[in-house]
Amino acid sequence: MSRLQRPVQKSTNPAKKFIEWKSKDKCFSYYDREKEENISLELPLKFIFLEHYHTVGGWNDASGSRIFSNEVFQIGTEELAVKSFKGGEIAKGIYKEIKHQISSAGGVYHRSIYVMLENGELVNIKLKGSAVSRYSDFYSDHHQLIDQNWIEVNSAEDGKKGAVSYSMPVFTIGAVVTAKENKLVDKIIPSLQDYVDTYKAKGVDVVEEIEVEADVPSGKIESLPF
């Protein structure tokens, strides 16, 4: 037995919850590992933006398991490594060059957003489909205020494409972040920065089992935004 402590590479995602938009229920939801059930987060939801990335999720029928990938900031130049939990690698490369393989396997583009909730929790929000479009428009219109104000989702907007009805979260700018609230952000930023630096530097494909929900997705592939 060694007398020295052997350093362990840390790549555990520091997010306390992994939240998704539930179109049918018009609310956010996350999977509680202890209770082994999905927990709904009724609106309104308020949070402070920290950073966002591009990633891929979904359901692979062939392997009967969830699809995941690493997160990238520049989707046009950084490689995505897309895999399923039980089936292994699906595709690897620049998104636009492998999106057909991703889609054929059941993969869906997601926007991965790290935020701080009102209680000081660091959480991850994943958006797909129409929710991504709504968020992208909001970010484009208000990017100059993103770091200074709370972001609020107080309501949902209904949409319809052909025979398919869906809902989208409506993002709005809230109150200015106070000095006290910024101190809470400062406390959680180091853990997120360390996580990003670690797996970006080492090329680690980070997988978090906490993201796996109890219910099996329908497998319906939504249109990709790129």
pLDDT of residue 91: 96
Whole-prediction pTM: 0.85
- Asked if 59 and 66 touch (Cβ cutoff 8 Å), the reply is yes
* CA nearest neighbour of 59 among 87, 36, 31: 87
Q: Is residue 33 part of a domain?
A: yes
Q: Is residue 9 part of a domain?
A: no
Measured distance CA(128)–CA(103) in Å, rounded: 13
Q: Is residue 221 part of a domain?
A: no
Q: pLDDT digits over 155-164, tens only? A: 999 999 888 9
Distances 221 to 64, 103, 108, 118, 180 between C-alpha atoms, Å: 15, 7, 7, 33, 43
pLDDT in tens, the chain (226 residues): 445 554 455 558 899 999 999 999 999 999 998 899 999 999 999 999 999 999 999 999 999 999 999 999 999 999 999 999 999 999 999 999 999 999 999 999 999 999 999 999 999 999 999 999 999 999 999 999 999 999 999 999 999 988 899 999 999 999 999 999 999 999 999 999 998 888 776 654 544 433 434 333 333 333 333 3
Number of domains in the chain: 1
E strand residue ranges, the chain? 17-22, 27-32, 37-41, 45-60, 65-69, 80-84, 88-93, 107-117, 122-128, 149-161, 164-176
Q: Is residue 226 part of a domain?
A: no
Q: pLDDT digits over 6-27, tens only? A: 445 555 889 999 999 999 999 9
Measured distance CA(223)–CA(187) in Å, rounded: 38
Residues above pLDDT 70, as percent of the chain: 83
β-pair partners for 57: 108
Distances 166 to 7, 94, 159, 201 between C-alpha atoms, Å: 48, 29, 5, 39
Find all residues with CB under 8 Å of 136, minimum gap 6, and list them: 111, 225
Q: Is residue 223 part of a domain?
A: no
Q: Is residue 219 part of a domain?
A: no
Q: Is residue 224 part of a domain?
A: no
Q: Is residue 92 part of a domain?
A: yes
Find all residues with CB under 8 Å of 166, minimum gap 6, and list them: 23, 129, 130, 158, 159, 160
The whole domain housing 51 covers: 17-207
